[in-house]
Amino acid sequence: MSDPRQYWVAFSLVKGIGAVRFQALLDYFGDPQIAWGAPSKALREAGLSEKVIENLVQLRSSLDLNKVMHDLETKGISILLSSDVEYPKRLKEIDQPPPVLYKCGELLPEDEWAVAVVGTRRVTAYGRQVAEDVAGSLASQGITVISGLARGVDSISHQAALNAGGRTISVLGSGLDRIYPPENRQLAEKIIANGALLSDYPPGTPPEASNFPPRNRLISGLSLAVVIIEAGNTSGALITASFAADQGRDVFAVPGNITAPGSKGTNRLILDGAQPLLNPEQLLESLELTMVAEHRTARVALPGDPTEAQLFETLSREPLHIDEIQTRTEIPIEKVTATLALMELKGMVRQVGGMNYVILREAKEAYKHED
């Protein structure tokens, strides 16, 4: 039996089909598998142009979807569909979220508290210091730092977050098997171990210049706010700031010397209404992020309904098989399974193998504290 998720991946490989056209296909056919096998006449009726139909028909005649999925697994790349519970909540809120995200590493519920730190590739000593201070301060407070792995401010911000023992996420303008710039491969591996690499471009996609503005839309979409450290008048970071404003995200810009090329863009942003960032503490206070650790603990500790509460009380730090959980709680097994899956996503419990579950220590301690 074929994996229905492979048809989402298949459409992400078709040139000319993005979020809008994919949604149109879903609306018309109701199912991506049906859409994938549809005749040209039906695809035309669904709104696809002749060129896109030609691309789709040509690709599906030569594509082995089982091999595509196997290759993803071999490369350590997983997929997130916009219909998945695990799909980033903030990204779901933007217009036209990408139907498929490719991922290396792990996204956690706490990545909902994230701030993007971006800027010029031609960073000055001043910009480097500020990027390190801002990203390091955010990470030390439990806030995930998001950037784009580019040279300059992006790379500095990722590294500063890692140095502070925090989490960081990089959004690429290429396939996840095409790390760009190539000298950042080692940094990318560190990010995978302490966060994630994301892309809506399938593996094999080269880092073409046209890919980066859409990539910037995802950087801002994943974030609570965007901080522009340094940017010239034509910097791609200004595109990220524009997307952030459109998405209702807060935009902060670091003021700089009015004669410095790298500060012309940020100074212009401030003139146009961005908040001038004078220190990292201001950022935390403006976004009410000074108590992130406490917010996380409270959120993972408090069961959301009576079923979660009952399972929460039944579990301990000792592994308990799902059949035993069902016996003790007398809750139907399908409801136990579904609820435990949700609790695991919320950071309340963990499956430790063989359908055995334990409660996370920090969640249990916080729940006792609330009582």
Structure tokens at 330: 């007398």
Q: How many CA atoms lie within 13 A of 65 on its CB side?
A: 20
pTM score, whole prediction: 0.78
Nearest to 208 by CA among 170, 171, 182, 173: 173
Q: Which ranges of 63-202 would DSSP assign to H, the alpha helix?
A: 65-74, 89-92, 125-140, 153-163, 185-193
Task: State the first-to-last Cα distance of the chain, in angstroms, to the nearest integer.
Answer: 48
Asked if residues 202 and 182 have their Cβ atoms less than 8 Å apart, the reply is no
* C-beta of residue 255 within 8 angstroms of C-beta of residue 263: yes
Cα–Cα dist 10/62, whole Å: 12
Backbone dihedral angles phi then psi of residue 207, each to the nearest 5 degrees: -80, 70
- Is 145 strand, coil or helix? strand
What is the amino acid identity at position 174? S
pLDDT by residue for the chain (371 residues), tens only, comes to: 467 899 999 999 999 999 999 999 999 999 999 999 999 999 999 999 999 999 999 999 899 999 999 999 999 999 999 988 889 989 998 999 999 999 999 998 889 889 999 999 999 999 999 999 999 999 998 899 999 999 999 999 999 999 999 999 999 999 999 999 999 999 999 999 999 999 999 999 999 999 999 999 999 999 999 999 999 888 888 999 999 999 999 999 999 999 999 899 999 999 999 999 999 888 888 877 665 655 555 555 556 678 888 888 899 878 899 999 999 999 999 889 888 887 877 778 888 778 888 887 656 555 544 44
Rounded alpha-carbon distances, angstroms, from residue 172 to 94, 160, 169, 212, 213: 18, 19, 10, 8, 11
Domain annotation for the chain: domains and CATH numbers: 1-64 (1.10.150), 105-290 (3.40.50.450), 294-370 (1.10.10.10)
CB 135 within 8 A of CB 117: yes
Say if strands 356-359 and 320-321 run parallel, antiparallel, or are unpaired.
antiparallel
Q: Report the SS3 class of residue 295.
A: helix
Tell me how far apart the alpha carbons of residues 233 and 231 are, in angstroms, rounded to a whole number: 7
Q: Residue 356 burial (CB < 10 Å; 0-12/13-18/19+)?
A: middle
